Structure 1
Amino acid sequence: MSKKSHSSTSKVQQQEMMQSEEITLTDDIVVSFLEDNPEFFNRHPELATSLRVSDQHRGTVSLVERQQQQLRQKIHGLEEEITQLMAIANQNEQLFTLYSDLYLRLIDCQSAEELLDCLFKATTELLSLTDMKLWLVAPGEFSHACLVEKDCGGILQNRLAKDQYYFGRIQQSEQEMIFSGQCLGSVVLIKLQHQQQVLGFLAISSQDAEHFDPRMDTLLLSQFRKLVAKLLERFLVNEA
């Protein structure tokens, strides 16, 4: 037998051996094939309805039914997201209106006492929060139930040295100093600063431990903080 004939016989035998070997199909192979052949179901349209897949609630369904179910679930999820966004938008609109009305009331205040009365009422009645306190670096010549008499300079340094706000929980010793008792929920500390001069801070508490969260948006609080600091500084100067 010639070398050429022997070589041809070997190739034929190799091809037959390769054809006789069983290829183990895996999920990856099937997925890769379908991704590489997007027209597969167009060539075999009957498979879309004849193939059955297991469904947790309906037993077995066709591929078309499974696709419809997934689309319904996606639409339902989008509807829920839209509903949540509308609720958030409505809440933000209400907050904006509340803050706008509050700003007008604050501007009309004629004294530091009246200013604190207005702030306390807005905090506890309009916003349904628990309490509000004010600590001043240099106490003014006035008294009010919202004023913190204890020295909170350490709290100002620890919580607000580099930030304008602190959201979350505070230590029990800090609770005692600011609120004269335990605060089981969450608080926000708002640094009051006018023209680079730190006046002190406002402390507002909520019974809800999750109400004041570090992820909160501070746009409205930023405007509120600046206005209160400006008005407070004016009253303190006039009373000095």
Structure 2
Amino acid sequence: MNTTNPITEDDIANFLANTPEFFERHSQVLASVQLTSPHGNRAVSLQERQAEMLREKIKGLEHRIMDMVRHGNENVIIADKLQRWARSLLLTRSPADLPERIAHEIEVQFSVPQAAIKVWGVADEYAHAHWAQGVSEDAKIFASSLTAPFCGVNSGFEAVTWLAQPAAAMSLALMPLRTGVLNSPSPAFGMLVLASPDAQRFESAMGTDFLERIAELAGAALSRLRA
């Protein structure tokens, strides 16, 4: 008997995995193996334990499929809202009406409690509008520094003062406005702010794909206001 290199469980497992004909020659072994059921202390056969494991795996896959279906349905609903919002911009004839229309339709279509927008560097004919005034150079520099929507708690951003009820803004989404894609190096010519009294509505870990699409569409629509 070789005691220098005793047989280990790994050796046995490798042997059985690489010698499937062993069970053909010793079929009685499969029938005699008894395991403990995870649903109690009773002993079950190997085949029954395998069936239980398979049922558990199927149940896990069913849960994953249901999650995928649920997320898919949610994405369809959001995409429909985005389409209706974009349609409202296309139906807005006067460029001067676009900033307020963009903010208002976001509140309506996406159930956002508050939304506001500021645009700078506009043509002279729009310079008197309230949405083209009251933005500091620091806020403009901050908007240009964003290459993706900022989501998080309200920590005293200037953009909060653009809202009708600044004190009710617990969480924010700040979106720079550019004529091109959101992450382009070109300076922003505006910023859109969304706010909620729910501190978890706009959190730092949330996905921003739809917010990016909103910002890019809004930037493209508002490019008609630029000087």
- TM-score, normalised with respect to structure 1: 0.72
Deviation, structure 1 residue 72: 0.9
Task: Select the residue among 52, 69, 73 that pairs with 2:52.
Answer: 69
Task: Select the residue among 200, 205, 222 that pairs with 2:195.
Answer: 205
Deviation, structure 1 residue 202: 0.7
Where does structure 1 lack aligned partners over 5 or more consecutive residues?
Answer: 1-18
Number of aligned residue pairs: 213
| Aligned residue identity for 1:48 | L
Task: Select the residue among 74, 82, 88 that pairs with 2:65.
Answer: 82
Structure 2 Cα separation of the partners of residues 221 and 47 of structure 1: 61
Structure 1 Cα separation of the partners of residues 39 and 109 of structure 2: 47
Higher relative contact order (CA 8 A, sep 6+): 2
Residues 134 and 148, structure 1, Cα contact 8 Å, conserved in 2: no
The C-alpha deviation readout for 1:153-175, integer Å capped at 9, x for no partner, is: 43553465151x23331552216
Task: Select the residue among 131, 134, 141 that pairs with 1:149.
Answer: 134
The C-alpha deviation readout for 1:10-38, integer Å capped at 9, x for no partner, is: xxxxxxxxx27597554323322222323
1:39 maps to 21
Q: Return the index of the structure with the highest Cα Rg.
A: 1
Percentage of identical aligned residues? 20
Residues 112 and 142, structure 1, Cα contact 8 Å, conserved in 2: no
Pairwise mapping of residues 156-195 of structure 1 onto structure 2 (< 5 A)? 156-158=140-142, 160-161=144-145, 163=147, 165-170=148-153, 172-174=155-157, 176-177=160-161, 179=163, 180-181=166-167, 183-185=169-171, 187-194=172-179
Structure 2 Cα separation of the partners of residues 112 and 61 of structure 1: 74
Pairwise mapping of residues 1-240 of structure 1 onto structure 2 (< 5 A)? 19=1, 21=3, 25-59=7-41, 60-111=43-94, 114-138=97-121, 140-143=127-130, 149-151=134-136, 153-158=137-142, 160-161=144-145, 163=147, 165-170=148-153, 172-174=155-157, 176-177=160-161, 179=163, 180-181=166-167, 183-185=169-171, 187-194=172-179, 196=186, 198-206=188-196, 207=198, 209=200, 211-214=202-205, 216-218=207-209, 220-235=210-225, 237=227
Residues 116 and 194, structure 2, Cα contact 8 Å, conserved in 1: yes
Structure 2 Cα separation of the partners of residues 214 and 116 of structure 1: 28
Where does structure 2 lack aligned partners over 5 or more consecutive residues?
Answer: 181-185
